[in-house]
Amino acid sequence: MKILRAMSLAALVLLLGSATAGAQGHVNVFVGSNFSGDAGRSLSEALNNGNRLTWGADVGGMTKGIFGAEVDFSHSRKFFGDDPRLGNNYVFTLIPSLIVGVPVGGEHGPGIQPYGTAGFGWIRRNLEDQ
């Protein structure tokens, strides 16, 4: 419970103390855990089980604040569980997409930029039944 309060306070400080963003590109890396459909499992138990590691990244950017692209990929090993009969099972996703934004009020200055994104996805799974 203390860790939840500390994380909430840290998130609040980051949100209140953030400056205006002006980036035209981004890289987001993530590492997490796969619950494998077991809603009764606790988060700490899932994170402590290294076999359920999920990792990936999202890379993208915009040119002139109007057009852009991004690609998101992730890899989850032991996605279907640890049963030895399932072999070396995993799920890999790759999702490229295009971005179209409309800068309202210009790129430099107080403005907003609504945007839309559209893409397609590829999911590769490996599940061996031994």
Interval 81-105: pLDDT, tens? 777 777 788 889 999 999 998 877 7
Q: Write down the H helix ranges in 17-130.
A: 43-48
What's the average model confidence in pLDDT over 5-29?
77
pLDDT score at 31: 84
If one compares 46 and 92, the residue with the highest pLDDT of the two is 92
Three-class DSSP category at 40: coil
CB–CB of 54/92 below 8 Å?
no
Average pLDDT, the chain: 78
Reply yes or no on whether the pLDDT at 24 is more than 80.
no
CB atoms near residue 79 (< 10 Å): 19
Q: The whole model's pTM is what?
A: 0.63
Give dist(CA 102, CA 25) in Å, integer.
Answer: 16
